[in-house]
Structures are given as structure tokens and as C-alpha cells.
Structure 1
Amino acid sequence: MADAPQLDHCGAVGMNGVVKGWCPGALRPMASGDGLVVRVRPRLARLSRRQARWLAVAARTHGVGLIDLTSRANLQIRGVQPDRLAQLQETLAELDLLDPDVETEMRRNILTAPDWVPGDDSERISVELMARLAELPRLPAKVGFAIDAGSAPILAQDSADFRIERGETGDLILRAEGRATGCTLTKGAEVDALIALARWFVDSGGEAAGRMARHRAALPVWADTGARPRPSRPVMVPGLTPAGLAIGAAFGQIEAELLNPMMSRSVCMGLRVTPWRIMVLESAVNAGPMPFGLFASPGAAALRVDACAGAPFCPQASVETRGMALALAPHIQGRLHVSGCAKGCARTRAADVVLTGRDGAFDLAFNARPCDPPVETGLTPDQVLARFGDD
């Protein structure tokens, strides 16, 4: 596969150091230090029991046996060698996890509230939008949709450009990212309005801005009638939920070989993926002892940590990241971000404590991103641990 895309992460810098403006898919994977990253986009962020079982087998057979949970509620199979890609794609097609073409795959950038139930507004609108993807205009590669039509928004902090969510009055509203208000929707015509707003975005020059939040053109009058969303609901945490048992994964990654035994013990009906490094075993109440790196309790320190793959898996990183993150997490109050370099691929927002790799050592900053100026530089791992009180 001589023309394999050279990108390690959504919007990150790949092996040739060039920033790309698109996210990986199953038909258009990206190259990383451990092989190709193949992103699988389950419809409604749900895998049936059969799909989950054979996806885990495929991750071991064609990759290095690691599955990432992404911030778009997708799954990434890591370490796929180019000569195994076609076989993996055949398996995904058999599991109904492969889009017919790259264009459809890119358009189907839909984030659905993960606690949807059959027949509710979130499922109904998401299914209709998937059926009408061809009516959308050609949008910038990373533009996405949030269908957040539960009792109150739960995806407000997750990336999207167009949002359908519950309004203050109880009606559904359509809101453009970066705007505090939107318009009230008529039941059954929600997707019509969403497509119309997407077309306006393109027609008004949104492609140059790339994302709705950066597009400063005044919205059409119909699209902003002052309708406000309801205050957000808390996001899921590990533990029992109405949908089933929520399991947290350190760094949003799970060893594929752990998935099937855990599903068998829990007798779950399927698997749901969330944007929060949490997967839900549908209808399950107990999955037995948790393997290393997985958590069924909400207080695990590792769930407050962001860390990229780091060295040696990413050629841009000069430090090992995840071992440091796990060792340091219990000593940090708030959010910790350990980044292999200044790009900050694992987290785009500021964190309470940030360690950034540079020339084989760490820079330290507070309430910052990896690209922000540090307060201390050139720290060794031992110095970092000593700095935060590790004995």
C-alpha cells in the first residue's frame, strides 16, 4: 500500500510530519508508528454481540490486538499491516461495519447520544440522517453532527458542528456550534432543517473556515430564533447505567483479547461506545473482576488522564507517555495530560497539569495545553514523580 495516508491521529501529524485535515476510516486508514490505524464507525455507536466478538478477533488477527475508543464514539484497530488491510476490510464488510465508499464514510460523521433507546428521538433522527447522507453538500472533512435528543443534552462538550438537542421548552432545537441559540424544530422535519443549515454553511463560505465554530457569517434568520438548549446532563461514568454496565478504559484503549471473555461473563446483549473512553455492556449488571486498565467504578485516577501513544509508537514523540501517566495519576488532582510532543494529539483542551515531551525530557505546565509555555523544562521521569510527591 504505497500510498498509505501519513497521519497518526485525527488532525494530528503523521510519519512525514505533515498535518492532515481528515480523520481515519476503515476505507481510508492512517499510518502510525505501529502500523495502519483503521477506524470503525458503528452505526448509532452500537455493536451487536456478534459484531463485537468478531471485531475483537479481527483486531488480533490483522492488527496488534489493541482497540481504541475515540472521542467520536468510534473504534480504532491499531497496528494493521498494509498487506492485511484488504482482509480486514472484507471482515468488516461481512459484519456490516464498512461503508460502500470513502465519500459515505466521511459524511457519516454522526455522534449519537449513547443512552438512546429504540424508537426515541435520538435513534429516529440518526437513522433518518444516515439514510439521507447523499443530500448533504460536500463538507470539510472533519465537520460532524451531534444528535443529542434525550431529555437534556449529554454531548455538549463533545465536538460537533451541527447539533440537534433538547431545548428549554422541551422541543427539539437545531443549533450551530459556536452559537448560544438556535431554532425550534418541527417533529419529523428535523433532518430537513439540518441539511438546509449544512447547505447554508457551504454556500456562505464555510469551507474556508473549516468548522462551524470558526465561521463568523450571520446565520439565516430561520436558523436562530433564540431557542436555547436545556442545561446539560452529566456524562456517563463507570458503573451501572440504565443502558447496562459502563466500563472505563485507561487512555481509551482495550486489549482485544479481553473483550470477548468480559462480554461472555456479563451476558450482555451488545456493546455501545461513548466519546468518554467508556463502553457500555448492554443489559449487563456484572462483568466479574476487571482486567488491568479497565474500571467499573467511577473514581479511577486513570480515567482523569490523557496520554498519546508516545515513543516508540509515534515518531514525533521523544518520551514514553503512558507509563508516566499511570504512575503520576494518583498524585494529581484534576486533569492530567501527558503528551509525547507539543502537538497534543490526545487532548485539544487545556488540562490542570500538562507534561510535554521535548528532546527526551518533560516540560511542565499548569492549566495549559502542550503548545503553551512551560513553567519548568528538562525534567526526567524521576524528577517529575518527585515533583508531585511520589516516594
Structure 2
Amino acid sequence: MKGSAMAAATDRQIETGDHCVPGLRRGACPTLAAPMPTGDGLLVRLRPAGGALTVAQMRALAVSALAHGNGILEITARGNLQVRGLRAESVEALAADIDAAGIIVPANPAIELSPLHGLDPAEVADPSAFERMLREYLHEKLASPLLAPKLAILVDGRGHFCLDEMSADIRIVAVDDTRWMVAIAGTAKTARPLFCGDAGEAVAAVGRVLDLLIAKGEHSRARELDDRVLETAFVQPIGPLSVSVSAKPQPGTVTLSAQKAALGLRPQFGQMQSSELIAFLANLAASAEIRLAPDRQFLITGLSRAEAECLTMIAGGYGLSADPHDPAANISACAGAGFCMSGFYETRRLAARIIEHAPGLLDGSLTVHLSGCAKGCAHPSPALTLVGSADGYGFSLDRKAGDAPDATIAGGGIESAIEKLAQLAGPQRQAGESAAACLKRLGAATIAKALRQD
């Protein structure tokens, strides 16, 4: 990887302040070849082959992140790994360590797979075999520089866990053991089905979609494809198909057979201190494997049920939760002040205050986004958002971090504001009403007025 990935870094640069650092245009994915400038240095995002790492590989990556970055490893909402706090001269050292550990990072676009692929007895079909076919037969098209850097392709083999809530430009879903459905532009509910057939036919259908994207122009996304063009390329459109019912990945023990189990763990806010991760990995046998999963979590496979139960008991001591109902899972927080120079406040400290004093907000009906600055790195979608600034905190009920806030809270008033939010989402809730429904009923103007009151 050192040779190929680093050689792929071009002369393209992003200006940050009065200097330039290696990188792609804004909005591109931060890779080893093109790390992204952030407030705490350079950031690299990795998706290892199959979303899987051995215990030794995960440890090697954590050691390298500690040596060459600021020691923070993150798992993103799409189940990718991020290394933070790198410098221009240390990215190559990280790449060399990744090579030495035998970690393979396929070229973009990343292809996301069901997290228990190849291991799940309930799996309808193996998505890793389909991915190999895609990369073999569509190699030139997938390598086209005209494809969008963030083009999202996922292959869902069903089974215990599905990828229904993940949006993708191209989603390929196993219908049964011989047929795959190809759909575009959305989640399982919103994507447009285009084709259903055997694996070879489905690969060809994906190739046609890639052709349309390349022909449309540089960095086009599937949602931009014209209906008439699609109807010409897919002359026999299909309607919704029935697929096996699966749950989304979540923390906790998953029984795979009488002898085998997997354990899902979620780092708090998706962030891991490398030193804590290294210590935790010492509790795992070399035969175990780490499988990255959506919603900022990972699964440990190759366990017995007794081993999974033992790890569940000790995981909390390393900042890892096996509780599917952990309230912290409803908070998206960036690294924040102390870890990122762009952060205006300590996001983790504020998150702890919300968990303690406003648990009613964390019923799973909404996401609380704690952003140290207006860039909103941790959560690009609308949410209940608290954004740090030089003036204090910007509050928004259902907006992105970069949007104009509904109210501004002075820095010293944040504790009181949290208590007022808790009251709004508590005593004023109607019977059976969720926190999200309650806040929506009250409205942004009413909430903003309440937060401004002394």
C-alpha cells in the first residue's frame, strides 16, 4: 500500500489558512492517498477488505495511530475506520504500518458488505463473493476518475443483520440463493429497483448503472440519473420484491450456532483511545476477528457464547458498550476541544451532562448532535444540534451544524439550557409521545424562547 497508495497522491491540494496540505477537493473522501485537513491535523479514512481485520491487524492499526496520530480511532456511521491527528510526514509511516500488518484496503469506491458475511447461517447469499465478481468484471469502470469520490455501493446478503437503513448510490440485495436485486439512490425503503437476476446478470446491471454515471459527467450521483435514461437502460423495470426480514446491526451477543457467537460493541460516540483499544484486544484470542458495522460499532467473531459473555462484562472498562439500549448511542459527538483545535467546547463532557440530566431526550426517537464547530464532522444530517462558537452554543431543533441556529446560548448558560431541554422533553410530553414528537409539536420558536429565559 505504501507504494501504490502514496504514489497515487497527486499534486492536488486544499488550502488551509496560510499553507497547503495534501488532499482532494472538499467533499471528497479522506484516503491514505489524499488525507483530509481537520482541526487536529490530517484525517485518513479506511475500509479494509470485507470490512474485516484480524486481532493482530487491529492492534497494529491502533499502535500506528498512537505513534503517528493523536491516538484517536473512530468508527463512522457507515462502519469505516478513521485515524485522526496525522501530519503530512506521518501519513506515509501509517501506510507502511498498514502494509506491514497485511491490511488490504481496496481502491475506491468502497463496497460495503453485511457485517457477518460468510459466517451467518441465516445469510441468504454471500455478498463477499458478489463483491469479488464486481471488482473482477467491472474493474475499469470502478476505477474511472469520473465516478464520485463518495459513490456508495453496498451488497447485502441478509441474515441476522441487514443494511436497510444505509443509503447508497447502488444497492445489491440477495432475494434468494440465486437472485440479486439491483436498486439505486436510497435506503431499502426509498431506493429505485432496476433489475433482478442471477449474480452474473446483476453484475452486468451494476455495470450499466456505472456507465450511466460516467456518461452523465464527473462526480455524478445515482439520484441525478434521468428517468428516461434509466428506462432505456432497463427496459423491463421491476417492482418491489420481498426479501428476508432482518434487523439492523446492534450491540450484544449474536448466536451463530451451538458453538459459535459474535459480540457487537459500540465505542462511545464511535471514538476509541488507541491505548484502551490495545488493552482490550489483549483479552481476545488470535483466532477472533473484528468486523466493522454501521452505526459506529464493530462485531467480534470467532467466539463461544461463554467468551462473548465474558467480554461483555469487561468491555465497559475500555469505553465499549454491549448494551443495545445505551443512551449514548443517540448522541453524535465530534472529537471536540482538547482533541481538535477547531472545537469550541468539550463535546464528551457535555454529552455526559445530557445523559445524566436529560435522559428523556435519548429515547431513540432523535439524534443529539454535539458539534465543536460549524463543520459538523460527526453528523452531516439534520438533528437536535448544539454547535460551539466563539459566542457560545448555537441550538437547532432539526438542522445541520452549518445552518443558522434557532437560538444562541451563552457559554455559561449551557448547563441551564440542558435542564430546560430535559423539562421540555419530560413533563410536557403527552402520553405515548416520543421526545422527537414532543419537540416537534412545541416547535423551534417555543423551544428557543424557553432556552433564552433566565
How many Å separate the matches in 2 of 1:255 and 1:314?
14
Aligned to 1:106: 108
Query: How far does residue 163 in structure 1 lie from its aligned partner after superposition?
Result: 0.6
- How many Å apart are 1:126 and its aligned residue? 1.7
Instruction: Structure 2: state its 5+ residue gaps.
Output: 1-8, 424-454
Give a deviation string over 1:30-59, Cα, whole Å, max 9, x none: 222222212222111000122112112211
Does 1:226 pair with 2:239? yes
Give the number of the structure whose residues are more often helix, by fraction.
2
Describe the shift of the 1:372–1:76 C-alpha distance in structure 2 as closer, same or farther (beyond 3 A): closer
Q: How does 1:1-391 map to 2 (within 5 A)?
A: 6=14, 20-99=26-105, 105-107=107-109, 109-117=110-118, 120-132=125-137, 134-136=139-141, 137-138=144-145, 139-151=147-159, 154-167=162-175, 171-178=179-186, 179-203=191-215, 205=216, 207=218, 210-218=220-228, 219=230, 220-222=233-235, 224-228=237-241, 230=243, 233-241=246-254, 242=256, 244-267=262-285, 269-284=288-303, 285=308, 286-287=310-311, 288-289=313-314, 290-311=316-337, 313-314=339-340, 316-330=342-356, 331=358, 332-333=361-362, 334=365, 335-351=367-383, 353-380=384-411, 381-389=414-422
How many pairs are equivalent?
376
3-state SS, counterpart of residue 112 of structure 2: strand
Give, in whole Å, the separation in 2 of the partners of 1:131 and 1:94.
25
Check 1:309–1:262 CA distance in 2 against 1; reply closer, same or farther (3 A cut). closer
Q: Which ranges of structure 1 fall in alignment gaps of 5 or more residues?
A: 9-13
SS in 2 for 1:322: helix
Once the two structures are overlaid, the 10-residue window that deviates more, 135-144 or 373-382, is 373-382
Rate the CA distance shift 1:325–1:259 in 2: closer, same or farther, 3 A: same
CA contact (8 A) 1:308 1:321 kept: yes
Contact 2:345 2:388 in 1 (8 A): yes
Separation (CA, whole Å) in 2 of partners of 1:173 and 1:226: 10
Distance across 2 between alignment mates of 1:223 and 1:142: 29
Q: Secondary structure at the match of 1:182?
A: strand
Q: d(CA) in 1 for partners of 2:274 and 2:173?
A: 34
CA 1:61/1:198 → structure 2, altered by over 3 Å: closer, same or farther? Answer: same
Q: Deviations over 1:222-255 (max 9, x none)?
A: 4732243637632121110245111111111111
Instruction: Report deviation, 1:212.
Output: 1.2
Q: Take 1:130 and 1:169, find their aligned partners in 2: how far apart are those partners?
A: 21
- For residue 281 of structure 1, what is the amino acid of its counterpart? I
Higher relative contact order (CA 8 A, sep 6+): 1
The 3 A distance-change label for structure 1 pair 72 and 129 is: farther
Task: Give the superposed CA RMSD.
Answer: 3.2
Residue identity over aligned pairs, in percent, reads 26
- TM-score of the pair, normalised by structure 1: 0.84
